Amino acid sequence: MSESQVLYAVSARVALITLNRPAAMNALAGTMREDILAGLERAAADPEVGVVVITGAGDAFCAGGDIANMLELQARDDARPVVARTAVASDLIQFLRAMDKPVIAAINGAAAGGGANLALACDIRYGSTRTRFAESFVKIGLVPDWGGHYLLTRLVGTSRAMELMMHGDRIDADEAYRLGIINRIFPAESFMQDVLTRAEQLAQGPAAALAAIKHGVYLGAEQSLATVLAYEQRTQEQLFLGEDAREGMRAFMEKRSPRFQS
């Protein structure tokens, strides 16, 4: 993957994917979409990675698409790159949601347009006191992509999603937290350390159980109670005799922290 516009690093079982165009608020340009997907695929295949964190360099998470480039395409009457980019975004979002490992969005600043919806696709979202969200597509005469219609609606409901998308207004961290868009707000000064501390704690957990919880939560959001109960029964049986469950129960009885293998 590109070492300039998307960075990838692993430490303490946490893969950190950093969008790296700080001068442009990490607006998506070139092969950044493909590079983010490649980073996710790399993390998914690495047994030394338990959790993925996506963030932005500088003061922004991601400002969405590069509008200067969009103007160039319009000048050429060429929508083909837009179609190709939305296809990559679709693959990226679906892979992120389907992969076994938890993905955390560390939203260090502005998250707008496709950047906002990339954050919404993550399993857990942490904001800082500088976080700002905007479904800004309507401001340039477009509709949300990156799964925004699906993701935001399930988080905040149809009426709230309609208003946020139709007005394209920016909301701050407090409002995003109130609406359930972000899980926690950390101080800007210690933001990344706070997020990485949470990520490292999660990365020490039982990988198979974390994967099953991720899939179970999304199943519960869309399927019937009977389907979810069957999933729980099947999954509990699969995990029960595994080494992580054995270690977890031994640790509980011995009043110590578990040391999970995965």
Q: Report pLDDT digits (tens) over 88-119.
A: 999 999 999 999 999 999 999 999 999 999 99
In a domain, 62, yes or no: yes
The better pLDDT of the pair 55, 4 is held by 55
The total number of structural domains in the chain stands at 2
In a domain, 260, yes or no: no
In a domain, 231, yes or no: yes
In a domain, 190, yes or no: yes
Does 114 lie in the same domain as 221? no
Please check the confidence at residue 51 and state whether its pLDDT lies above 50: yes
Q: Kindly list the strands in the beta sheet with 60-62, ordered across the sheet, starting from the edge strand earlier in the chain.
A: 60-62, 110-112, 132-134, 170-172
- Model pLDDT, residue 11: 97
Q: What burial class does residue 34 get, using C-beta atoms within 10 Å of its C-beta: 0-12 exposed, 13-18 middle, 19+ buried?
A: middle
- Indicate the SS3 state at residue 205: coil
Q: Domain with 137 in it: what CATH number? A: 3.90.226.10
- Indicate the SS3 state at residue 3: coil
Percent of the chain with pLDDT over 70: 98
What average pLDDT does range 122-133 have in this prediction? 97
Q: Are 197 and 189 in contact (CB under 8 A)?
A: no
Lowest mean pLDDT among 43-47, 48-52, 67-71, 89-93: 67-71
Last residue of a domain, one of 188, 203, 218: 203
In a domain, 258, yes or no: no
- R_g of the chain computed on alpha carbons: 19
Residue 3: C-alpha distances to residues 11, 21, 60, 89, 205 (Å): 17, 11, 19, 20, 30
Query: What is the overall mean pLDDT for the chain?
Result: 95
Q: Report pLDDT digits (tens) over 200-229.
A: 999 999 999 999 999 999 999 999 999 999
In a domain, 27, yes or no: yes
Nearest to 19 by CA among 30, 38, 3, 6: 6
- Model pLDDT, residue 68: 87
d(CA 221, CA 154): 8
Residue 49: C-alpha distances to residues 40, 61, 197, 223 (Å): 11, 22, 15, 30
Does 146 lie in the same domain as 58? yes
Last residue of a domain, one of 163, 183, 203: 203
Does 229 lie in the same domain as 193? no
- Model pLDDT, residue 1: 46
- Model pLDDT, residue 2: 44
Please check the confidence at residue 159 and state whether its pLDDT lies above 80: yes
**Boundaries of domain holding 244:** 207-253
Sign of CA dihedral 168, 151, 48, 193: positive
Please give the biggest Cα pair distance in the chain: 69
